[in-house]
Amino acid sequence: MKKILLALFLSVSLFAGAQTNTETVKSFFGEVVNFQDVDVNEHNPIITLDKLAAEQADSTLSLTGDNVSETFDKAMEYAQVIIVVENHTAVLVKDWENCRQSGAWGICMPYGEGYVKRAALVNLQDYINNIIGIPDGQERKVYLFN
């Protein structure tokens, strides 16, 4: 009986301390995007992040396999870069110098950190090609912030 109560207590403690999807996105992207006075979509906060980034970015570019080199050349001129794929993935570029050659994209892809929406938001820290996927028909937007 004591083991069951202990297990129940630990489970409740873990869930009580976990961040919601909204809190996760706000805390991670909050230094770049202003979430103040905004109702964030709790089920999928990447939708809200995408909308706010579009409104607040200094510049917005579309990322495709054909323009990746030119897009990244321009992006490196900015202090912060967020890449959003459709409504399911958001990545903050962390290090342009730490990059790995991507066969699919044809260039050296920088290191980044972000979230992919699955049942819950999943944190990924990797070279961004491993987070944003291969060039395909999905819409990828690059938000540039000074």
- 47 to 25, 36, 44: CA distances (angstroms): 11, 16, 6
- The predicted structure's pLDDT at residue 3: 52
| Numbers of helices and strands, H then E, in the chain | 5, 6
Alpha carbons 102 and 97: distance in angstroms, whole number = 14
- The predicted structure's pLDDT at residue 19: 83
Residues of the chain with pLDDT under 50: 5-16
The set of long-range contacts for 43-47, using a CB threshold of 8 Å and a minimum separation of 24, is: 44/87, 44/88, 44/117, 45/21, 45/121, 46/84, 46/87, 46/88, 46/89, 46/90, 46/115, 46/117, 46/121, 47/87
- The predicted structure's pLDDT at residue 120: 87
pTM for the predicted model, two decimal places:
0.86
- The predicted structure's pLDDT at residue 119: 84
